[in-house]
Every structure is written in C-alpha cells, then in structure tokens.
Amino acid sequence: MLLPALSWLLSSLVTTVSPGKLSEAEVATEVLHRPFICHRKTKYGDMLMVHHDGYFENGTMFHSSRSSGDKQPMWFTLGIRQVLKGWDLGLQGMCAGEKRKLVLPPALAYGKEGKGKIPPESTLTFIVELLDIRNGPRSHESFQEMDLNDDWRLSRYEVKEYLKKEHEKYGNPPNDTLREKIMEEIFAREDENKDGFISSREFTYKHDEL
C-alpha cells in the first residue's frame, strides 16, 4: 500500500530537474562514513537531527553547528524546503550515524543573490552528520499510526484518538474541549475537499516546489 505513495513522491522529484539544467542543479554527494547497522533510511517528511559544517569553495569554513550559537545539532523536516534545496535532495536515503559531504551549486544553495556572509553565486560544501531520524509529523508512518481502520483516510474520531494519545504521551492533562477545538482546526485546514475526512494525499506534504 505504500508503493503508490512512494512512486508519487519519486515522480514529483524527477520532474523537478529540468533536462537542460541537469548539470548545474545537481548535488554532488559523497558518503564519508556509513554505520554498520542501519535500521532505517531518511526520506521526505522525516525529521532529521544533524550537525553540519559549511565551507566555501576555497575551503574556508563559514559555519559549524558544533561551534556556533548554542552548539546544539539542529532538527528539521526533510523535503519541505525548511533547509537549502541541496540538503533536501542530498540527504535522502541516509542512515543515522552516517556522514556525507554535499557540494551544492548556487542554484541549490543561496543562488544569485547570496545571503548574509554568503556571496552571490557561491558553490558551498557541507559536511553533514546525521544523528537521529524521527517520523515527521506528516510522514506515512504517522498517517498509518493514526489511520486505525486502515481505510487511508482519517476520520474525526481517529484524529481525536491520536491527539489523546499524544497528550497522554507528553503528560498534558486530558481536556476534551481543547482537543475538540484542535481537531476542528486541523480539519478546517487539512480537509481540502471538505468531505469530512483527511485523505493520505491531503495529509502528506506537498512536494511541488522542490
């Protein structure tokens, strides 16, 4: 049952690369370290926790999550343009513990304009270490977990049960009125065709911009 959804994801990925621009819009990916044990690999919609170092073409480091700011690794959702396009493309199929080197052409990084200390038209190299993978809020795993009767759509009951479970997991006091309100907000936003159910298509992220 997962296959149609996956092939849909893949086809939306393929259409993103226009034939004429293939060479300039590619991420060069090199695996620097792959762990012996790999329980799952990253895919669109997953939440990733990474440490990363960024370098200019001349080898100068412009950022390192290990030494900048709070020195904490960062969490982001893969495939929704929360990060640079080149990351969304280059960090797929990765195992926790894996380390990759990505070389991003400007088109998949900060483009013609650049940003802050990144000059225009910069090709950037990143060393990314993946520390942890979790099901994204919009992953197929989350959907399947919520879809109690396996009919590939979420009813109000199923969403409410899920909220209840989440609230219990995080120790929030159960409050039916509040949950009812959250649920109605979710349906107002997600049930695009207003048929009273959230389909798997309505639920998962749209990848059109990639």
Q: Which residue, among 134, 144, 135, 137, has the nearest Cα to 200 in the 3D structure?
A: 144
Residue 144 CA: distances (Å) to CA of 105, 139, 194, 201, 203: 37, 9, 21, 13, 11
List the beta bridge partners of residue 55: 61, 125
Q: Which is nearer to Ca ion, 53 or 191 (CB)?
A: 191
CB of 134 to Ca ion, least distance (A): 23
CB of 157 to Ca ion, least distance (A): 9
**Candidate residues 66, 195, 201, 206; the one interacting with Ca ion per rule CB under 5 A:** 195
Does residue 191 touch Ca ion according to CB under 5 A? yes
User: For Ca ion, which stretch binds (CB under 5 A), given 6-14, 90-98, 101-109, 188-196?
Assistant: 188-196
Side-chain half-sphere CA neighbours of 2 within 13 A: 6
Q: Which is nearer to Ca ion, 7 or 149 (CB)?
A: 149
Ranges within 125-164 binding Ca ion (CB under 5 A): 147, 149, 151
Interface with Ca ion: number of residues (CB under 5 A): 7
Residue 42 CA: distances (Å) to CA of 30, 49, 63, 104: 16, 11, 24, 19
Question: At 101, which amino acid appears?
Answer: K
Q: Which residue, among 106, 99, 123, has the nearest Cα to 50 in the 3D structure?
A: 99
User: For Ca ion, which stretch binds (CB under 5 A), given 36-44, 93-101, 176-184, 191-199?
Assistant: 191-199
Q: Which is nearer to Ca ion, 22 or 188 (CB)?
A: 188
Q: Which is nearer to Ca ion, 126 or 162 (CB)?
A: 162
Per the CB < 8 A criterion, the answer to whether 203 and 143 are in contact is yes
CB of 191 to Ca ion, least distance (A): 4
User: For Ca ion, which stretch binds (CB under 5 A), given 9-17, 80-88, 126-134, 193-201?
Assistant: 193-201
Per the CB < 8 A criterion, the answer to whether 198 and 189 are in contact is no
Q: Which is nearer to Ca ion, 151 or 180 (CB)?
A: 151
Interatomic CA distance for residues 191 and 188, integer angstroms: 6
First to last CA, the chain: 24
Chain contacts with Ca ion (rule: CB under 5 A): 147, 149, 151, 191, 193, 195, 197
